[in-house]
Chain A
Amino acid sequence: MIAAAPGNLRVVGREDRRFRFMPRFRGRELGLLGVVAVTLYVGAVSLGATERFRESLADGEGGPVDLSTPADPGLLLTYIAALFVVHLAFVLSGRRTDQLLLPAVGLLGGIGLLLMIRLPQNLAGSLGGLAQTQLVWLLIGLGIIAVLAIAVRNDVWLRRYKYTWAAVGVALLLLVFLFGNETNGARLSLTLGPISGQPSELLKVILVVFLAGYLSENRPLLVEESTRIGPIKLPPLPYLAPMVAMWAIALGIVIVQRDLGAALLFFAVFLLLLYVSTARVSFVVLGLGAFVVGAAALYFLFGHVRTRIDVWLDPFADPSGAGYQIVQALHAFARGGLIGTGLGGGLPTIAGRPPIPALHTDFPFAALGEELGLVGILAILGLYLVLVQRGLRIASAAQDEFRAILAAGLSLVIGVQAFIIAGGNLKLIPLTGITLPFVSYGGSSLLANAVIVGLLIALSERTRDPLPPPRRPGRLRRLFDRGAA
């Protein structure tokens, strides 16, 4: 009998790849970052001019208005500089990684920063106002992207410890269940000592890592048909367990945490990944069925779910109560019209505050819809679509299933999350309190999405190129080997 050797595939040739300083020019990324910088600068100039123009109108003077100075140039230029620093780090690292993700994410983050500069600074933020706090988080996020994209060359730590990651995720969930702080009836944030954040943001990354590990390992078995319920062919029952567990966790999040957005995101990404790894439509149908059943049960059993759905169906029934936020959001879209009011031109304040209290976290899409108009938000939707397509492209070019499912999951998280919140803002689906990736204000969201982008860039390294030939062992080594033999 031969015992199976323990462990997984060792990354071949690791010992041959000693660090060599070999910068690699990234022309495409540089060019796109140039466009990003110019775009953001124009946006800031437009914002500054509009704000000064409005002030001069409010004062009733109408004297000459300074039209050339951007709004809050320090913050924006710092951000643009940071983008180029990350680019430089990529160049110096010499990895052949994706060149579109950083500019696309950089533009979204920059638009978010412009929005934060434009909103009343006292909305949130402890570091001298909304925009400054957001900039700090953006810079940390860019740092995370750089570190992950350059340093992650090995996925064993993700792949091998998938159950550890799952445990960490469940532990995080339990922590939130037990100690979460409630905001607006939803238990979303967790405060541990000086650190507070929204664990569901981190949880989505952990979930994808776990699913990638689990699905890539059990893919052949999941595809096997050994259980049949009528016309539905199912995988062997034990392999259904994670599906059921996932469904239960999503329900649990809704019931205990009242976080509909996270539950929807997790379940949607789970189903999509299940489909990606098995190509079985029946799973998706089954999952959707379970979703409908669960949703219906929740609707009848839990008041907060019912309220949410009823408000979604007819927010105008109670425009100043339960439907207030969504009605205000729809009004914001309507005010924007085709080309918007221009940055700084919309978003009326009442008593110094925007009518939607959570504008900076839950409704930046509506805010952008007002100030950039339909034309502007179509471009922003396009940016998210580009991000996702790029991520899926990285997935389809990945070396193995784990990496493919991981890359697909990471990019789908961004796409689905953007869809859920944008759809919620637009009353296409019930409104949930999740963030618009890279644009919304908030550290947890920015950091988690930075982790995603960093991993995606790292996964995008083009390994299909021939590996470098093995270097001949040094003479000393050969002597040593011979001696040992």
Chain B
Amino acid sequence: MALDGRRSASHARPVTGSPPSWAGRRIGIGAALGRVSLALAVAFGGLAVGAGYWQVIESSNLSSSGDDAAVIAAARNVKRGEIFDRDGERIAWNKRDANGEPYRVYASTSLSHVLGYSSRQYGTAGLERAWNAQLSGVVSADPLRELTRKFQANPSDPQSLTTTVSLQLQEAALEALGTKRGAVVLIDPRTGEVLALVSNPTYNASGIADPATATRIFDRLTSDERQPLLPRATQGLYVPGSVFKIVTAVAALGSSAVGPNTTYDDQPSSERRGWLIDGFRVRDGHHEVTGDKPLDFAEAVEASCNIWFAETGVRTGGDVLAEWASRLGFGSPLKFDLPTATSQVTNGEGDGPGGFGDRVELANAAYGQGQTLVTPLQMALVASTIANDGVLMRPHLVREATGRSGTTTIGPEVASRVLLPGVAAEIGSAMRLAVNGEIGRIFTAGAALRSMTVAGKSGTAELDPGTRPHSWFIGFAPYEDPQVAIAVLVENSGGGSVKASPIAGDVLRAWRAWARP
């Protein structure tokens, strides 16, 4: 009598033998609907779990990443902090485009390699990159406020920067370089504040920042064979030539391997045919003026005697030279606001002490040839160390970051105590001779000023045959109370040191005018 309901063609269930129920009247549908509805509820539970995963567990990871649209939009929509030079001159500020989104404008192309740019299309470079967080306000100057940021409607606190550079000096340095490729670095040796950091050729950073012109200008710059986007002062690596003799002097005198009065008896006699070391001849070109007199340290600097320094280098030893150079900043990127290339005494691939290949390489390195490569900024630091009684101050480009929540100040900081003051004074005195002495004047013509005493050293970096040498000048002034250290590099300027020295003279003259209002 009792029937299997499913087999019955009737939809109305026979109730015989089973309790009558409205819900059970249609076999399957009621129960199946219940299960389907449960399944859907479970599926929606899955959605809730998924949402919880992204919104709670992964929330801070994703929303703080640089790819986050809010971070990008904040960078685009927040008016970045303005940038001022050390004289209070505004050197970077904002304009608004048709969408109301701000874009950057810069005061001068002479600043491009310092400030860099902040562009929607091409990101950031220079100080705009290094200080991006502060300029766009993602990081607050006040750590307590940093904690409560999430609860603020407008958490960004764009900070304005005060740089250590002077627009006036930047423009003067760029003007002094003229059409020549090269770099000028001016540092206050007492504080490490960079007063000017110029690379030439430079570029129009405002053009990259302006969304209307960015693509056109950027494409032109990247295809320009003169590489205007390369920050030569900080990232250009050059053979130093004779200016490196100051580094050798720091190592040799600092380690007492030689003294100020050290002379080499075979030096005068080797001047004609070159000093022979392991089959290589170190040559020189000053025999006409120095004759047969063995040169001491100061005279060797003044005459830029390759043989004296080659012998000193060999006597000092490769490991000592490399060690003292590293105290000056060689061998690792400088701790600086901008990325820097690593200056090297040697490529370090050799088996000899300090990584030199052999004594020939060491002898060549000691007077700035060999495998030695330096950045203009590094050479400015060498001059700065001598000027500051042997103490290297950490170079920096920003003095202050000021936001709604306060001001962060970046003060002077000792990077390394390299030399005893007396040793530094010896080297400084020799550098004064190199600019003002009877012989030195020939090599550094144009660097000496009437208004103050300049100390320095010039250099000619011999390159491959057929390539015109680089011209260098490093120094400081005034000699009596050093307030500025300088490095000038002119790429492929041609024979002699005549190209960099007069530029240094011009820049120091401009500094003099700027420093004495």
Contact = CB atoms under 8 A, between A and B. Distances in A.
Direct A–B touching, Cβ under 8 Å: yes
Interface of A: 50, 53-54, 57-58, 60, 220, 223, 272, 275-279, 319-320, 327-328, 330-338, 345-346, 348-352, 354-355, 369, 373-374, 377-378, 381, 384-385, 388-389, 392, 395-396, 401, 404-405, 408, 412, 415-416, 419, 422-423, 426-428
B73 A349 contact: yes
Contact of A355 (B52, B55, B69): B69
A317 to B, nearest CB: 13
Contacts of A279: 27-29, 31-32
Closest 10 CB pairs of A and B: A348-B73, A279-B28, A334-B62, A426-B50, A355-B69, A333-B54, A374-B55, A352-B99, A279-B32, A57-B154
Contacts of B30: 396
Contacts of B67: 319-320, 327, 331
Given A276-B36, A404-B26, A412-B40, A419 B47 contact: yes
Given A337-B63, A348-B69, A426 B51 contact: yes
A395 B63 CA distance: 44
Contacts of B51: 333, 369, 374, 377-378, 381, 426
Contacts of B9: 220
Given A328-B69, A349-B73, A275 B32 contact: yes
A381 B44 CA distance: 7
B47 A374 contact: no
Interface of B: 6, 9, 11, 23, 26-37, 40-41, 43-44, 46-48, 50-52, 54-56, 58-63, 65, 67-70, 72-74, 76-77, 79, 99-101, 120, 153-154
A349 B154 CA distance: 15
B54 A330 contact: yes
Contacts of A422: 47
Given A60-B79, A279-B28, A412-B36, 19 more contacts: A220-B9, A220-B11, A279-B32, A330-B54, A330-B58, A331-B67, A333-B51, A334-B61, A334-B63, A338-B56, A349-B73, A350-B69, A351-B120, A374-B56, A385-B40, A392-B37, A412-B40, A422-B47, A423-B46
Contacts of A428: 46-47, 50
A426 to B, nearest CB: 4
8 contacts: A330-B62, A331-B70, A336-B55, A348-B74, A351-B120, A354-B69, A355-B72, A419-B47
A426 B54 contact: yes
Contacts of A223: 6, 28
A331 B47 CA distance: 16
Contacts of A278: 28, 32
B11 A401 contact: yes
Contact of A57 (B37, B44, B100, B153): B153
B159 to A, nearest CB: 15
A404 B47 CA distance: 27
Nearest to B22: A464
B63 A331 contact: yes
A338 to B, nearest CB: 6
B54 A334 contact: yes
Contact of B44 (A330, A348, A419): A419
Contacts of A405: 29
Given A412-B36, A419-B47, A401 B29 contact: yes
A413 B113 CA distance: 61
Contacts of B153: 50, 53-54, 57, 345
A419 B43 contact: yes
Given A319-B67, A381-B47, A415-B40, A276 B55 contact: no
B93 to A, nearest CB: 14
A93 to B, nearest CB: 27
A60 B79 CA distance: 10
B128 to A, nearest CB: 19
Contacts of A349: 73, 77
Contacts of B37: 388-389, 392
A396 B31 CA distance: 9
A404 B29 contact: yes
B72 A350 contact: yes
B75 to A, nearest CB: 10
Nearest to B46: A428
B55 A333 contact: yes
Given A276-B36, A396-B23, A331 B56 contact: no
Given A337-B55, A396-B23, A385 B41 contact: yes
Nearest to A384: B44
Nearest to A342: B153
Contacts of A53: 153
B33 A276 contact: yes
B339 to A, nearest CB: 24
Contacts of B101: 351-352
A308 to B, nearest CB: 18
A339 to B, nearest CB: 10
Contacts of A388: 37, 40
A423 B23 contact: no
- Most chain A C-beta atoms within 10 Å of own C-beta, residue among B51, B77, B101: B51
